[in-house]
Amino acid sequence: MHPTPSLVATVDRRPPSGRPRPARALAMLAALLWLLVAGTGAWADTIPLRAAELKAEEDGYVLNAEFDVTINPTLAEALQKGIPLYFVLEFELSRPRWYWLDEKVIASSTVYRVAWDALTRSYRVSSGLLRLNFNTFDEVQRFLSRVTGRQVARRDQLTPGARYEAAVRLFLDVNQLPKPLQVNALTSREWTLQSDWHRWSYTP
């Protein structure tokens, strides 16, 4: 059995704003320089999606999905060097209309921030008020790979018997990387980690 991730305090205790300490600033600069000159290699990563479904429950409709997230060595080393990674889960639900453009019923996104905590020597995944600690890199990948019981719509938002088109995807958001890295990330295949939109029909 895998260790259960531990919930930690939802209050983010950060040091007061101001200029970073010289040692910390130099370490961050060194990490950015290393990442900027890293080779572009032959990685062309995608995130396969194994399954996805909508399920009706008492309070509404929930999304279950299973991805296969594998973070390549370049991104893993970036984490170890203090660069957080941001993964975005997007979900859409639309209603086809023969006489006009499809009606967008639901559009939601969830951001997961993944970072290495050198003090506790653990990985931290945060999303909104949620804070989770993981002891191993494999646990982080398994957590990102599974979406279970995520409510995406209330009961009154969907019409029983109507046909809807659902879509879901997961991707690494390079736009949330530090500015010096963004240009390099947009042109390097090592930083391309995403799934295609997976679409299916659903009738409540």
Asked if residue 94 is part of any domain, the answer here is yes
Side-chain-side CA neighbours of 62 within 13 Å: the count stands at 9
pLDDT (tens place) for every residue of the chain, 204 residues total: 444 444 333 334 444 444 445 655 555 555 555 444 443 443 445 899 999 999 999 989 999 999 999 999 989 999 999 999 999 999 999 999 888 888 999 999 999 999 999 999 999 999 999 999 999 999 999 999 999 999 999 999 999 999 999 999 999 998 888 877 766 666 667 788 999 999 999 999
Residues 112-142 as b or e (16 or more Cβ within 10 Å = b): bebbbeeeeebbbbbeeeebbbbeeeebbbe
Helices and strands (H, E) in the chain, number of each type? 4, 10
Residue 36 lies in a domain: no
Cα Dmax for the chain: 62
DSSP 176: G
Domain-located, residue 26 = no
Owner of token pair 């799934």: 195
| Residue 144 near residue 51 (C-beta atoms within 8 A) | no
Q: Which of 195, 169, 198 minimizes the C-alpha distance to 108?
A: 169
82: alpha, beta or left? (left if phi > 0; alpha if psi -120 to 50): left
| Residue recorded with tokens 């997976």 | 198
DSSP string, 22-71: HHHHHHHHHHHHHHHHS---S---B--EEEEEEEE-SSEEEEEEEE----
Cβ atoms of 101 and 165 closer than 8 Å? no
Q: What is the pLDDT of residue 200?
A: 97
d(CA 104, CA 191): 30
Tell me what pLDDT residue 191 has.
81
- Note whether residue 174 is domain-resident: yes
Give the pLDDT confidence score for residue 3 in this predicted structure: 46
Residue 12 lies in a domain: no
Q: What is the pTM of this model?
A: 0.75
Tell me which residue range forms the domain holding 103. 49-194
The predicted structure's pLDDT at residue 182: 66
Q: How many domains in the chain?
A: 1
Assigned domain for 200 exists: no
Q: How far apart are CA 142 and CA 158, in angstroms?
A: 31
pLDDT at position 187: 64
Nearest residue to 91 via CA among 113, 112, 65, 55: 65
Is residue 199 included in any domain, yes or no? no
**Phi then psi for 200, rounded to 5 degrees?**
-155, 160
**Does 164 fall in a domain?**
yes
Structure confidence at residue 189 (pLDDT): 75
